[in-house]
Amino acid sequence: TCAVDILRDRDILWKYRKAGFVHIYVGVEATDQGRLDLFKKEIGCDQAREAIRLLNEVGIITECSFILGLPDETPASIQRTLERAKSYDPDMAHFLAIAPWPYADLYEELREYVVVHDYSGYNIVDPVIRPREMTFEDLRREIINCYKSYYMAKLPEYDRIADPFKRTYMLTALEAMMQNSFLRNYLGGLGEMPEEVRRYLGR
């Protein structure tokens, strides 16, 4: 849902939870105002952060994505996005590679940077745009590092959640991500699941 809708309903969000809403995906996409404007999100960074805070406050699980891989992307800009994502503090965060389809508003602006034209690879996981200062492999590595850093920091928080439903929900969701999503394929070359992760998931 849109952050502005959450802000509009800030005084009745507790009713959302009472009515059975347990998990809401908030359309954030970026932590930089320039990129939000580029994506035509029509919100400010502070609004997005506040929407997530309000949902967290009433016990609704929050999820959002951060788009990476624009032509001006660098390891430093990705690190800034990661740190800001942590400050937004959604329960679940995804770090996705931009994949502009030909009918997308941004396509003409990004066309010259599109390297992959096989649309079966347009899955917002595998890069299709090569940033000016990064290789595809650089970008993949940084995306995986974002996931590792974000969720290794989140694991202890999940373990301290007082609400047994939310705690089980979050640990089960993380286990599903680790075992059944594209992360399993990307992390496969790194060996088995880290022991610290296994320990938390096994509790």
> Please, where are the H alpha helices in 27-105?
33-38, 45-57, 75-88
Query: Strand, coil or helix: what is 90?
Result: coil
Bridge partners of 88, per DSSP, are: none
Query: Strand, coil or helix: what is 194?
Result: coil
Q: What is the pLDDT, as a whole number, of residue 189? A: 47
CA separation, residue 202 to residues 1, 29, 47, 107, 182 (Å): 32, 32, 36, 44, 22
CA separation, residue 69 to residues 9, 84, 93 (Å): 33, 16, 16
pTM of this structure: 0.86
Half-sphere exposure of 19 (CA within 13 A, CB side): 6
Cα 68 to Cα 62: distance, rounded to the nearest angstrom = 20
**Which residues 6+ apart lie within 8 Å of 151 measured at CB?**
174, 177
Q: What is the pLDDT, as a whole number, of residue 203? A: 55
Longest dimension (CA), the chain: 50
User: 3-154 maps to which CATH number?
Assistant: 3.30.750.200
Q: What is the pLDDT, as a whole number, of residue 106? A: 84
Domains of the chain, residue spans = 3-154
Q: What is the pLDDT, as a whole number, of residue 190? A: 46
The parts of the chain modelled with pLDDT lower than 50 are 189-191
